[in-house]
Amino acid sequence: VAVYSVIRDLPTEEKYDLASQMRRAAISSSANIAEGYGRFHYQENIQFCRVSRGSMYETQDHLITCIDNQYISKELYDKIWELSMNAIKVQDGYIRYLKKKAAHLKDPSNS
């Protein structure tokens, strides 16, 4: 949601390039989480989570572009950066959880 507020306020010359890339990266992140969750195997879910994680980092890179070009304030940048880092940490925790569940299926004595 925070990324969309940035996109809305980008200068006209960035509405189709940077805005489009930011929108696609943000959508890709959540869409890959959903797609992975819908898979039957832990390894597939993990792979989609990794793709999602990559999209989160791509979104962060676009935020760096925004701050470098003074499209957003430092305060907004810091706020969104912190939100994105928290999302990445949660995603990393979910990936660890899925890996443990997958390992337990292979060897149930690994509790």
pLDDT tens per residue across span 72-89: 999 999 999 999 999 999
**Neighbouring C-beta atoms of residue 42, cutoff 10 Å:** 19
Q: Which residues of the chain have pLDDT under 70?
A: 108, 110-111
Phi and psi at 25, nearest 5°, equal -65, -40
Q: What is the pLDDT of residue 110?
A: 62
- Crossing angle (nearest 10°) for helices 18-37 and 42-68: 160
Q: Per-domain residue ranges for the chain? A: 2-105
For the domain 2-105, what is the CATH code? Answer: 1.20.1440.60
